[in-house]
Structure 1
């Protein structure tokens, strides 16, 4: 039976194989986070309007769009939420397991732009020293910030 299934699989070809795989597997949203640092090592944090009131502070975050690389998502989300430009660095975290969502986080360096927040999503944007982070910061983001930039992939 396995040989017959393998022969059928090879005969149907690429496009139909991809369609069958698409139908047979779960679909995931991918949340992408940027750990944006300036030249002094300060980190950009946003007080998000749509997040829980107990934990409104966090890193620039958003969902990847179809056809977009995760690095492109970081650049787009930072620009949309803050008006700032960044250069994306190393992947620092990749996780899954929360419903149908996967999450990727990348280090990023400020390269330019002018800070202008998107008032629909963001109430406030500020630079913080890693040792002086605000109350109400998402715990998962606190651990990302605690990584030494350019160091090991940590947590």
Structure 2
């Protein structure tokens, strides 16, 4: 039985193999988060319009676009949501198991720009000391902030 399957697989070759693999495996979206800090060590937090009210504060976060590298997503989302320029650093989290979502987080540093929030997604933005974070901060984001990794 396995010999026949192997022969059929080898006969398909190329794009047909990829199509079959695509159909047989789970599809994921990739959520990318930036733990953005300024020169004083404060962390950038956003109050998200679409998130639950008891967990509305969080780090700059978005979905990776098709073909986009994840550090590039941190840069793009930072700019889109806040108008700020950020430089991504070290990978600090890579998790799966959220149904059809993979979560990725990078440390990042402020590189410039002027704070101007995207009012469609973001209600408010601010710089917070790590020991003075809002109560309604996403728990996983609180953990990322306190899991300080040098950039």
How high is the TM-score relative to the length of structure 1?
0.92
Dislocated runs of 4+, deviation >6 Å: none
**Structure 1 residue 149: Cα displacement:** 2.7
Counterpart Cα distance in 2 of 1:143 and 1:68: 26
**Equivalence map 1:1-155=2 (5 Å):** 1-150=1-150
| Long gaps (5+) in structure 1 | none
Counting matched residue pairs gives 151
Counterpart Cα distance in 1 of 2:71 and 2:14: 28
CA contact (8 A) 2:48 2:57 kept: yes
CA contact (8 A) 2:90 2:149 kept: no
**Structure 1 residue 11: Cα displacement:** 2.4
| Long gaps (5+) in structure 2 | none
Q: Which secondary structure state, in structure 2, belongs to the residue aligned with residue 11 of structure 1?
A: helix
**Structure 1 residue 38: Cα displacement:** 0.9
How high is the TM-score relative to the length of structure 2?
0.95
Deviates more, 1:7-16 or 1:37-46: 7-16
**Structure 1 residue 76: Cα displacement:** 0.8
**Structure 1 residue 10: Cα displacement:** 2.0
Counterpart Cα distance in 2 of 1:18 and 1:113: 42
